[in-house]
Every structure is written in structure tokens, then in C-alpha cells.
Amino acid sequence: MIPHRVLPVLCGLGIAACASAIPLTEQVSEQQILGDDVTSVTQPSGQLSGRFLHITDFHLDTHYKSGTSVERVCHREKGTAGPLGAQGTECDAPQTLIDETFRWIETNLKGKIDFVLWTGDSARHDNDERIPRTAGEIIDLNEVLATKFIDVFEDKETPRGLSIPIIPTIGNNDIMPHNIFKEGPNRWTRRFTEVWARFIPEHQRHTFEEGGWFLAEVIPNKLAALSLNTMYFYESNSAVDGCAAKSEPGYEHMEWLRIQLELLRERDMKAILIGHVPPARAGSKRNWDESCWQKYTLFLNRFRDVVAGSVYGHMNIDHFMLQDSHDVDILAAASESESENSSSHDPEFAVQSRSTYLNSLRENWAEMPSPPAEMSSLESWSADFFDADAASEAALGKKAQRFLHKIGGPWAERYSVSLVSPSVVPNYFPTLRVIEYNTTGLEGVTLWSDSPYSDDSVESVILEDIDTDELDEEIAKKKHGKKGKNNKKKKPSFKVPNHPSPTAPPGPAYSDQTMTWLSYAQYFANLSHIYGDSSSESESEHSQQPSSTSKENANANADVSKSLDLYTVEYDTCTDKTYKLKDLTVRSYFELAKRIANKNRRKHDAILEVEEEEEEAASSESSAEDETDPLANGKKNGNRKKKHRNRVWRTFLERAFVGFLSDDELDDIIESEVPE
């Protein structure tokens, strides 16, 4: 086994197509030991590093007390809550974990990333009726986090006082009552305008105060991050109703998004979309109102030349989703949202419902077009697939051509991808993600840190003067046109954006070019390991100490001061041999999704870890208990059906839960699948 920490180094040696993952401080010495000519770890000042941080769901809880009971959300009574958080529980994150996380970021990432995407839920959950949250506390917790970012990235020498841009977004627990967010301006948009004053560009503050969304050029004139207020799309927000009706803030938000993307297209810029609640839509899970999902999916398809990628949080499980533009029905998007079943009120979203959701995703992926036989051996599929650009398309057989047509073209243009990073709060283990992107051709661009706010004339003129003239035109047309409820020709009540110009090259989300996301390294803090390491000396102290807060904190600090390497690489797609992600383009994810969904044992990736002999006992299938709780069964039925396993699917599940689940628990999830 290659030790985790060496992976990024190998990566830097050019084993994979992507550039080297973030070189951690402790890795520098390993590089030196190896004596290899690894590219210098910090970019010369004034250059992009080609990396950014995605971090999400801190859920800081200042009531957390080490040594209390996880049954009491780590607030009181004697228990096992550790100083850095209670992994695998519903407890929120102690201040110590937040402090150490930022210390780690400062030590390992400062000067090596170009911007931060911070996707919300910084405040603790409202999960203890004895200590109800107050609006003041929620704002205070957010202020603590904002200050942490400022402390790490402050640079008084630069015009904006920060070395890199930090892009926050509002989470469903950053407001009160949670999930409920009314049309702006409201007290939350006003308060967050203040809390995030250093992060929201001056000329965007008005926009933000109105709706809670904003745009920031993270690489001036090249790349913009659009912070979406997903509270207006969120099914569980009963104060609003989707994106279909003109009176809804969600409608206005989508109009804003469309217009921004149009402007960015005109300026030949690229966009990153960030939000808290992701557009999950699989099985009974519907995070967003359907009308919002429809518009979003439509826009991502139409602006596929502009959007470089999108990141979300909220779900605390590591996964991705593909939006299928064939599921877009403009009329549905334009009409009032249908009543859909939704399970998004589920407050726990425990392993059980999470695995059900992941299974639904997999079922959806299984239904996506499969490559024809001539491309279907997965080993050769890769090669064929990646060579299948426009030039060589003619060389492919008819079936292969038909397949490419089905998926929207050689770059799988039919689809778009949303990436979800798991959380800092240790529902499993604390994590954060560093994404690499292609900066070829960006040498010598003006950096965000060198461009003062006052230099934003272009931005402000264009963005402030937009009105929705075109939109009104569209509506006028519609009024004079035919009416009739079931008229298939009915025009949608919003402007449908154009496709990219037919001569435009595929966008950065589709083919590797400048701004394309190349790989990511998922970092995690194995709290079990960290607690285990110090246990021999100090465990007894911990558990037996009377709960004197100051003493415990002293203890905690003593423990963690050693753990500069709090976070280590869980996996790095740059070197990962299971996912085999050549880059993070839609096509790469499409291919990965098909491999995860593959149930054909003869195929390369359906590794037979467990051989047939174990299958004879099989008749029992999944029992009723399996359906209700895969974890409760344990090993009690020895005659569980050991189906052939798909190694990629298993790895996907393992990573979804940040490596926290045991082999048995993973087996149980896999075996509780509905039989084909």
C-alpha cells in the first residue's frame, strides 16, 4: 500500500494527467527525501495556483462539551464526546475542531489556493430544546467563521485587505426558524450583508440585500463565482413557492442567474455556481422545487459553454449528481409547480435514508444510455470514448454514433454535473476538498488581490443597468399569442436562453481546457485514529475528569496541538485507480456513473470479491428489516445473499460516508438493495 501522504507526490511526478495535488507541509520533506524534481510547491507570487478550497457545513456549536453524552447532542451528561468532535454522531462541531481546521488551512493551504467556496450551514442545528437557538447566536456563529477566514487570508498590503476571495452562501441552518427564508430584503439578508461585508463585492451588496445572492469575479474578467441562494429553491422552505410564478423570489433569482450567465458569455468569461442545498432529485428525494430544478437544468444545458462547474453542501455525504436536460419540460417549468412527493423534510437524513437515496441515484444512472457492444468492454470503452471527438466520430460504428447522439454529443452535452462535498461537522469524519483546475493561458492575468474594488467599473455598470426588457417582450408576445391550457405550443413565461453558438468549442465542464476542473483531493480527519493515538496516555484522564470546562479545554488543546496533520488525504481523484477520473468533466462523471451503476458481473469492474459459493444460501433476499434498517441486522443472518460486487459502487458508498462505515455496514447497505 502506498501511504496516503505520498500519493500527491506521485501525482506530481506526472503519473496522472492532472497536476500535483496540494503539497502538504509535511509532504515537502518527503519530496525532499525522495530527491525528486517536483514542481515548486508555492507558486511565485502574482500567479494563480490552479487550486481552490471547497468547505462546507461547519455547524459550530459553542455549547459542545468534551466528555458529554452524544445522546444529549454533546451538551451535557457524561459520555464519549471527544475534544475535536464526536465522529459519526448528530453532535455539532466544537470550537476546537473549527480552530484546528483553520490552523490546518493556514499551514497547508494558505498561499496555495486561489479562492474559497464556502457553502453554508456555519451555525449549529436547532437540536436541543433546552438551549434553543436565537437569531443573535446564529449571526454570532457566522461571524466567528467569517473572522476565521479573514484571520487566515488577511493581507493588509492588498487593495481589498484579503489575499484571496472567499465566497459564502446561506445555509438552511443559518436562519431562524431553520429552512424558512422569506422574500428579501429581510433581516437575514441585511445581517449577512454586514457579516460578509469583506466577501461580497461592494457593488453586489444591494443585490445581496435584495435576494441573498451575488456574483464575485474570483479571477477578474475571467472567472466569476455565482453564490446562489438555494433557500428560494428549497422544497422545505414553506415561505416561498418555487421558480415558476413571477411573484416568487425563486423566479427572480433564476432570472438573475440567466442574465448573469448571458453577460458572462458576452464577456467570454466562465462561471462557477455555488449553493448550499444541492439539486438532488432521485427516488423520492427532491431537494428543490421542481420548477427551480427545471430552470436550473435548462440553464446549465444552454450555458454549457459558460459554466465550469458547481459545488454544494448540505447533504454531508460525498457524492455527485447528473442533471439530465431530457428531463426538462419547459411547459412544466413555466406552469405552477405540480405537487410532488418530497422526503426533504427528513431532519435526520440518517444512513438508512442516505443509502436509499444513493441507491436511487444509481438506479437513475443505470437508466442512462449504455455504450453499444463495440464500446462496452469498459477497458476499451474509455479509450474509444475519449477519442470520440468530432474529428474521429465518423470512424466510429453506427451504434457508437447513435450512442454519442443519445448522450448529447461526444462530450455528453445532454448532462450537467453538481458536486457535493461532505461536511466539516463530523456526521462521519470532518472533511474538506481541494479542487484543481486548468490555468493554462492564465499566466500574467490580473489577480483578484491586485484589483481594487474601485476598479470594478465594468462589473458595476453592466450589472446594475440590467433590466428585464427582453423578458417583458417575451411576456407581451405570449399575451398576444394563443392561449389554452393544453396547448403544447404554449410559450414559457420566461426567456429561454440560447444554446451556445454552433461554432463555439465545448465548455470547460465538457472538454479539458482553461478553467476545466481537473481533479480534487478529499481530505479527512480520522478522529478515531487521532483519539486512539493519544488514548494510551490520556484516555483515562479524559473520561475520569470531572467536567471542569477550563480543564477539559486545556486537555483538548494539549491533544490537538500535535495534530498539524489533522487532515490527511482520504482519496485524490488525480491518482485514484478506482474512479479513474481523467478530469472532472461531465463525460468523466458520466462514465463513472455508468461504472457505478454497472451490474453485469462479467464486466471488468464488477469484481467478484465474494465468490459464488456464498450465494447458494441466497433465497432469503432482503428481508423486511433490511428495508427499514440495514445497520440493525448486523451479521445475524449468516445466509445473506452475497451478490457479486461492483467495486466502484462499493468505493462510491464507502466514500459517501467518508470512510466511516465498517465493511459489514457497507455490505449491509449493498445487500439491502432491491433485487433486480
Q: Which is nearer to ligand NAG, 271 or 463 (CB)?
A: 271
In Å, what is the CA distance from 501 to each residue of 194, 265, 305, 327?
41, 10, 9, 23
- Torsion angle of the four alpha carbons 360, 363, 367, 372, in this order, in degrees rounded to the nearest 10: 150
E strand spans, 35-101: 51-55
Least distance CB 403 / ligand NAG (angstroms): 25
Instruction: Report the site for ligand NAG in 495-524 (rule: CB under 6 A).
Output: 512-514, 518
CB nearer to ligand NAG: pick between 441 and 452 = 441
Please name every residue paired with 227 in a beta bridge, in sequence order, or none if there are none. 214, 274
CB 55 within 8 A of CB 118: yes
Q: Is 355 in the site for ligand NAG (CB under 6 A)?
A: no
Could you tell me the smallest distance in angstroms from the CB atom of residue 498 to ligand NAG? 24
Residues 6+ apart with CB under 8 A from 49: 42, 43, 111, 112, 113, 114, 439
Binding residue (CB under 6 A) for ligand NAG from 345, 405, 499, 529: 529
- In the range 7-36, which residues lie near ligand NAG by CB under 6 A? 17, 19
The smaller minimum CB distance to ligand NAG, of residues 526 and 646, is found at: 526
- C-beta atoms surrounding 285 within 10 Å: 22
Query: Do 253 and 277 touch, CB atoms closer than 8 A?
Result: no
Q: What is the DSSP string of 479-494?
A: HHS---TT-TTPPPSS
Taking CB under 6 A as the criterion, the residue among 341, 501, 550, 619 binding ligand NAG is: 341
State which residue has the least CB distance to ligand NAG.
659
In the complex, what is the shortest distance from the CB of residue 667 to ligand NAG, in angstroms, rounded to a whole number? 16
d(CA 177, CA 138): 11
Contacts of 667 (CB under 8 A, 6+ apart): 640
- Closest CB 387 distance from ligand NAG, rounded Å: 15
| Candidate ranges 199-207, 218-226, 527-535, 554-562; the one touching ligand NAG (CB under 6 A) | 527-535
For residues 532-551, which are near ligand NAG according to CB under 6 A?
Answer: 532
The residue type found at 641 is K
528 scored as a contact of ligand NAG (CB under 6 A): yes
Distance of closest approach, residue 441 Cβ to ligand NAG, in angstroms: 5
The residue range among 242-250, 286-294, 434-442, 614-622 that interacts with ligand NAG, by the rule CB under 6 A, is: 434-442
229 vs 421, which CB is nearer to ligand NAG?
421
Which CB, 201 or 283, lies closer to ligand NAG? 283
Applying CB under 6 A, among 438, 575, 588, 633 the residue interacting with ligand NAG is: 438
**Closest distance to ligand NAG from the beta carbon of 340 (Å):** 7
Q: Is 526 in the site for ligand NAG (CB under 6 A)?
A: yes
Rounded distance between C-alpha atoms, residue 491 and residue 333, angstroms = 11
Q: Least distance in Å: CB of 608 to ligand NAG?
A: 24
Smallest distance, ligand NAG to C-beta of residue 443, A: 12
Residues 435, 52: Cα–Cα separation, whole Å: 5
Q: Which is nearer to ligand NAG, 493 or 528 (CB)?
A: 528
**Residue 675 exposure: Cα atoms within 13 Å on the Cβ side:** 11
DSSP β-bridge partners for residue 435: 52, 520
Local structure of 87: helix, strand or coil: coil
Interface residues with ligand NAG (CB under 6 A)?
Answer: 17, 19, 341, 438, 440-441, 512-514, 518, 526, 528-529, 532, 659
